[in-house]
Amino acid sequence: MRTEVNRLEILAKITPLIENTAMRYNLVPIEIEFSKENHRWFLRIFLYSKERDITLDDCENVTRSLEDFLDELIPVKYYLEVSSPGLERKFKSEKEFIIFKGKRISLKLKEPLEGETEKIFKGELVDYDTNEGLTFFRFDDGKELHIPKCNIQSAKLYID
């Protein structure tokens, strides 16, 4: 017998549980993904901490705390993966610009800024405003740039 799965409904049910559980360990789930791949369901949770790197123990603690509760809320067999976002994670949501404020990023623009020819910059994410865009400190010349949200093609964490 096949179970009909509403992915968005399940995400709406489990997201508060995941956020509260992560908070107990001083962690933030920056992405929660529930998707079907090759006829299998996967729940992927990417954790972040402003104070420290994510450890295997962090992932294990969150996994153990969630398993039984998730099994009650998800009506199909699924694979749970809990991990850190990775060293050079590509941003997938606006909230990541806020979460990763003060971090080094690589930024790709749709169009060069006025007076510029380049569209890719490496620097520090100084600030982000959901209406205005971001303030960015470019490493190569020490300039602070204001980049409109509509001109951001992609961004990712950057490690030297």
pLDDT in tens, 43-82: 999 999 988 989 999 999 999 999 989 999 999 999 999 9
Is 7-83 a domain of CATH 3.40.50.2000?
no
Q: What angle do CA 61, 62, 68 make, to 5 degrees?
A: 105
Residue ranges of domains in the chain: 7-83, 95-157
Answer for the pair 68, 74: CB distance below 8 angstroms, yes or no. no
3-class DSSP state of 53: coil
Question: What 3-state class would DSSP assign to 152?
Answer: strand
Helix 7-24 × helix 56-73 angle, to 10°: 140
pLDDT digits (tens, 9 = 90+) for 107-148: 999 998 888 888 998 999 999 988 888 998 988 888 888 999
Assigned fold of 95-157: SH3 type barrels. (2.30.30)
